[in-house]
Structure 1
Amino acid sequence: MALSAQALQREFGDIASAPAELHSIESAVQSYLNTRELNTFRDIKYICFGVSSPYGAESTRLIEHEELFTDLLKTVEHLQPEPRKFRRCYQGLLKSYFNYRGYASELATGGKNWLILRDFLAQHCKALAKQKPVMDWAQALYQHKNLLADAPCKPYAKALLAGDLTVVDELKNRLGIDDDTWVMDELVLAHIHASTALKDAEFMQQISPLLQLLEKHTLLITKGLALLLRRYEACVNRPEHHGLRDTALREWKSPWMEANKPMWHAQIGETATNMVKLWLTKQHIKDFFELLQADRQADTQRMEFWLQYAEAIEDFWLALGNFSFYNQQTDYKRIRKQMEGHCMRLEGSNQNYDNAFLMKIGNFVFIEFGKQNNACHVFSFNNLPFATGQTSVSGTQSGLKNTRHPGWQGKLSHFDGWQQEFAKSLLRYANASPMENHAHQSPFSASKRISLSFSPSQNSKLTAESSHSDNQLKPIDLNKLREFCAIHNLHFDDHRNLGGAVWVRTSDKQPTIADALRNAGFQYQQTKNAWWRV
């Protein structure tokens, strides 16, 4: 009797038990694909367990075959008068349902049939749980019938947030759900979705554990990471998060590369992408002035100065001397990997231990060198003595220090009090100002506080009147415009003294900024991707 009970349990009571004859399952499925005939119950049972598995040279899955799959379900449904046979086929179909990623199926037929299978299982779930003898797996499925509906794992989110993994063990033990099924993926995503609904402080505590969880579910990293970054960007305070930054950089490569921008914008949008770009900019500034110094002694003064202008840096490049370019230490390899496409080799007889950091701010490129006795050279971005995409560049008077080149604008020396002179030059060249007072402000919240309702300027030479929508506009207050642009990391050019207009360099894709400029009388010109008014 004990042996008989064990046999019954193996046959009917354990959802994890599948026919051991894997070869028989494959033979039954292939035979059905070839002959389109369902001859015996044994074949039907095996086929139910093999519905989602690929077979044959073309790796065909029966669930992706519209006619044959429909015929199979009809045949199984006709077995209802024979509860034992119906239950065994139901088991096989349930296993196949859990194993097939219908949400992510590349074939429309597969996704459609997966939903049909879900409805079939849901339709018979309650009746199956009441059959005699009582089967634990059937009762467990009825208790977790949410797995046969939309948002299947949402009911478990609260427990997962609290660190309670009891439900995971139950699904594995009572329903035989394996780690490589879509159910485990949905559990992870349900956990992440629930975390994004928390308050900022509570959400931030969840980020690192969730990133570790995503490392174990590599197929979910892109989707899960996008959810976390979008939510993080919405936080009131958004300090640099190394885990989010490094994971995003590893998965989607550098957001500075033109080829990678579509991926970043598609996953997390422009605003969140700019947040990560700012983190990377700060990291690269720190790397250059802490690690890439010629004497390998951190230059904290220059580092702290340029960190204040991180939000104004639109693009940057590294030119590495031979020591840094070929160094196989972990930090050097990381820097070169992160700067791929933006990293050049610095040439010159005395450049082996030197490096250069090139920063595009406004329409100018500011070039700092590792050796502290070098001045910072400034060039017009549209007239450089080199191409930013080239593989190597000279660090001498024929390249980065070419003072005779028509694009060279001047050099800034690091004498006592140099910070003040640099700040004046950055403001003069590129309308750039230090951003330490606005580093943690959301651009949307800031725009609510800074209005562009211009008041008359005291300097008549810098004001003009124009009409917009038949209304008289107030003259531009340059101080208010400069403050607005500083908060939003925008640049403007004032060409009115040459008979031109004031141009604010930004797109029309950020509604709050666009509305503020439009209300102040600016008009958008798509060909220049900028706003203007006289």
Structure 2
Amino acid sequence: MLAVQAFAKLSGSLTAAISSMGIGGGTFGYPALVEKQAAESARLFQGYAKARPNKEDAYAAALAFLRGQALDPWQRDLIASALALPIREAKGACVLSSPKFDALLATYEAEARRGDLWRLTWHGLLASYFEFNPDAHKDAHSMKGWSSLREFLARTWPLVDRQAGAGTVPDWVMVLRRESEILSERPVDKYARAYLAGDTAPADSVAADLGIPQSSWFWHAMVLGAIRRATAESDAEFRRLIPRLLQLVQSKPAFRDDAVEHILVRYHGCKGAPADERLRDFVVQPTVWKNPKLKAAGIATAWSRVPDPVWSMVLGWVNERNLKDFFDILAARNKADEGRLAFWSNYLKQITWTRLVFGADTMALKTHNAEIRDLIAREEGAYAELTAKRDVDAFMMQIGPYLIIEFSKKPNACYVYQADELPFEPYERYYSGGTNDLAAGYYGKCAARVVHRDGWEWRAADELSSLGIRPDTSEAKRAQPVTQAGSHANMVQQHPANRTAVDMTELRRLVSKFHGATITDKRGTGGGRLWVSDPSQRALLAAELKSLGFKWAESRQGWYLPEN
């Protein structure tokens, strides 16, 4: 009986003790309650271990420091987390840029070596290190102060680490023990390598663990680090990495301009590299660097970041796309290409400027035609509109000292004007499209006028040649008419066997580029002809087929290779 009474008394004492600890309602002997309280204690500990002082107090301490006031010990602790903070009253300057910053650091270091530096103060200094924004503080003094802060953290981290000991430590201490290179002179190499390999986890993880903001130098250095690694690769490897680099830039747009500059300059150095459509489409977006044609108008100022040859390279990509879009999308609607795309492609390398001029019908189509809508969006800020001819579009291009105007629909002729004697302003927002502006050459007010009748290509080539404009290379002859001796088409027709006159491998490769187009070879099976069908009737494919000697059959709505 005495044993039972003793147990009851002990149980009551334990229950009272547990109750006094705030763990009521539980049953003695169950560890979940203890684990819950331990987890809550750990959470509170981690919160206190990286607590930041009141922002207003820290700001006030930073302002006092920049005004030359002496700081008391409490203010020195407060200012630690505000070293990179722009101070409005000091015209946006920060403590890092102050000539007295080195003396402040020396005070912190002396305390750290004596073991008197508060761990939360050191954590505040670490936070300031990561919060430095190179775009907000571009002056040399701020950069020097940030570098001095990094060196201080690297020197004093072993002291802080040793003082933390082997027991329970704050999360940020555990992270720095694993990632101590983030305080080194090459703090982002590890993360840049991973990002370039497509692994974003290491950088995202350390940023979350250490509270690195999106505006931090860390991301700026990591983006440029990945790009520098890519630009150091061979031409082929660098070009292979471009999609990944653009993805990186898009994910960290705050550092976009520096990144784009590096990528474009390196691409210009690639030997024989063709136009990169993805790079072109990214950089000319209205939200990125805009159309390079707008540089002269003072609108796309970002293009001033790169040398003129680099700007010219991208301008050439845009001009080439405009040329193809005009004939492949706009002129093709009226079946009015007449081999013009193939013809002007012979002069593509000499085209230094282009401009699209849309008629009212084309502008109306953008509401339900995705292709037209994308075209107009790409030319935002650069295109003009026609007011008098609803169903006609125009294309301007400059070659040497001449400005050339092509229209999307016959019977409009092509006009060649001297660029310094134009009967209209080349940057007007609206044109009538008639003889009072773009077609003023109808009355002879032009250097040359080309009417698109049979054999126009040769007449146009002769007139351009008389003006000093000749094809880019001797091999760019695909636009010559079929009646001219020596043309590709006559070579096909004069060959003793049609089956061997066309390289079928090359023809299949060409047709495969146009979705939906097909080849039907009936030679030798009673039909006697080689046919190519394109339900979309694309002007670019038509130009290529014409250059190979194919003719259009209206009845069949297809292209055929004539018999001998």
Q: Normalising by structure 2, what TM-score?
A: 0.67
Partner of 2:292: 255
Indicate the percent of aligned positions where both proteins have the same amino acid. 28
Q: Return the match for 2:115 from 53, 70, 83.
A: 83
Please tell me whether residue 344 in structure 1 is matched to residue 381 in structure 2: no
Deviations 1:270-319 (A, max 9, x none): 22222211110111112212333384557373223222322121223333
Partner of 1:270: 308
Mapped contact 1:125–1:138 kept (Cα < 8 A): no
Partner of 1:152: 187
Mapped contact 1:342–1:388 kept (Cα < 8 A): no
Partner of 1:428: 466
Please tell me whether residue 39 in structure 1 is matched to residue 72 in structure 2: yes
Partner of 2:147: 115
SS in 2 for 1:163: coil
Q: Return the match for 1:354 from 392, 400, 412.
A: 392
- C-alpha change, 1:374 and 1:129, in structure 2 (3 Å) is same
Partner of 2:243: 208
Deviations 1:469-516 (A, max 9, x none): xxxxxxxxxxxxxxxxxxxxxxxxxxxxxxxxxxxxxxxxxxxxxxxx
CA distance in 1, matches of 2:424, 2:201: 62
Structure 2: tracts of 5 or more residues without a match: 1-36, 478-564
Mapped contact 1:97–1:118 kept (Cα < 8 A): yes
- After superposition, where does 1:123-162 map in structure 2 within 5 Å? 123-134=155-166, 135=169, 137-138=172-173, 140-141=175-176, 144-162=179-197
Q: CA deviation at 1:72?
A: 3.3
SS in 1 for 2:126: helix
Deviations 1:206-235 (A, max 9, x none): 211221221121121111111112222222
SS in 1 for 2:403: strand
| Aligned amino acid, residue 131 of structure 1 | Q
CA distance in 2, matches of 1:177, 1:341: 38
SS in 1 for 2:395: strand
Mapped contact 2:397–2:405 kept (Cα < 8 A): yes
Q: Return the match for 2:279 from 244, 247, 258.
A: 244
Mapped contact 2:62–2:79 kept (Cα < 8 A): yes
- C-alpha change, 1:385 and 1:298, in structure 2 (3 Å) is closer
Please tell me whether residue 93 in structure 1 is matched to residue 135 in structure 2: no
Mapped contact 2:93–2:137 kept (Cα < 8 A): no
Please tell me whether residue 367 in structure 1 is matched to residue 399 in structure 2: no
Q: CA deviation at 1:95?
A: 0.7
Mapped contact 1:291–1:297 kept (Cα < 8 A): no
Q: CA deviation at 1:102?
A: 4.3
Q: CA deviation at 1:89?
A: 1.6
Mapped contact 2:84–2:132 kept (Cα < 8 A): yes
CA distance in 2, matches of 1:359, 1:5: 70
Partner of 2:427: 389
Q: CA deviation at 1:50?
A: 2.3
Mapped contact 2:418–2:446 kept (Cα < 8 A): yes
Deviations 1:440-495 (A, max 9, x none): xxxxxxxxxxxxxxxxxxxxxxxxxxxxxxxxxxxxxxxxxxxxxxxxxxxxxxxx
- Count of matched residue pairs: 432
SS in 1 for 2:284: helix
Q: CA deviation at 1:90?
A: 1.5
Partner of 1:230: 265
Mapped contact 2:315–2:353 kept (Cα < 8 A): no
Partner of 1:195: 230
SS in 2 for 1:293: helix
Structure 1: tracts of 5 or more residues without a match: 440-534
Q: CA deviation at 1:345?
A: 3.1
Partner of 1:491: none
CA distance in 1, matches of 2:237, 2:102: 47
SS in 1 for 2:447: strand
Q: CA deviation at 1:191?
A: 1.2
Question: Quick check: which has more Rg, 1 or 2?
Answer: 2
| Aligned amino acid, residue 433 of structure 2 | G
Mapped contact 2:406–2:415 kept (Cα < 8 A): yes
| Aligned amino acid, residue 291 of structure 1 | I
Q: CA deviation at 1:93?
A: 0.6
Q: CA deviation at 1:60?
A: 5.4
Deviations 1:340-373 (A, max 9, x none): 665433343xx11111212222333332111133
Q: Return the match for 2:451 from 413, 416, 424.
A: 413
Partner of 1:301: 339
Partner of 2:254: 219
Please tell me whether residue 184 in structure 1 is matched to residue 224 in structure 2: no
Mapped contact 1:294–1:354 kept (Cα < 8 A): no
SS in 1 for 2:309: helix
Partner of 2:556: none
- After superposition, where does 1:427-446 map in structure 2 within 5 Å? 427-435=465-473, 437=475
The worse-fitting range, judged by mean Cα deviation, of 235-244 and 73-82 is 73-82
SS in 1 for 2:273: coil
CA distance in 1, matches of 2:333, 2:126: 65
Q: CA deviation at 1:51?
A: 2.3
- C-alpha change, 1:429 and 1:264, in structure 2 (3 Å) is farther
Q: CA deviation at 1:185?
A: 2.2
Q: CA deviation at 1:82?
A: 5.4
CA distance in 1, matches of 2:348, 2:426: 19
| Aligned amino acid, residue 94 of structure 1 | L
Mapped contact 2:66–2:98 kept (Cα < 8 A): no
- C-alpha change, 1:264 and 1:131, in structure 2 (3 Å) is same
Q: CA deviation at 1:100?
A: 0.9
CA distance in 2, matches of 1:76, 1:268: 43
Partner of 1:324: 362
Q: CA deviation at 1:142?
A: 6.1
CA distance in 2, matches of 1:364, 1:51: 58
CA distance in 2, matches of 1:437, 1:261: 38
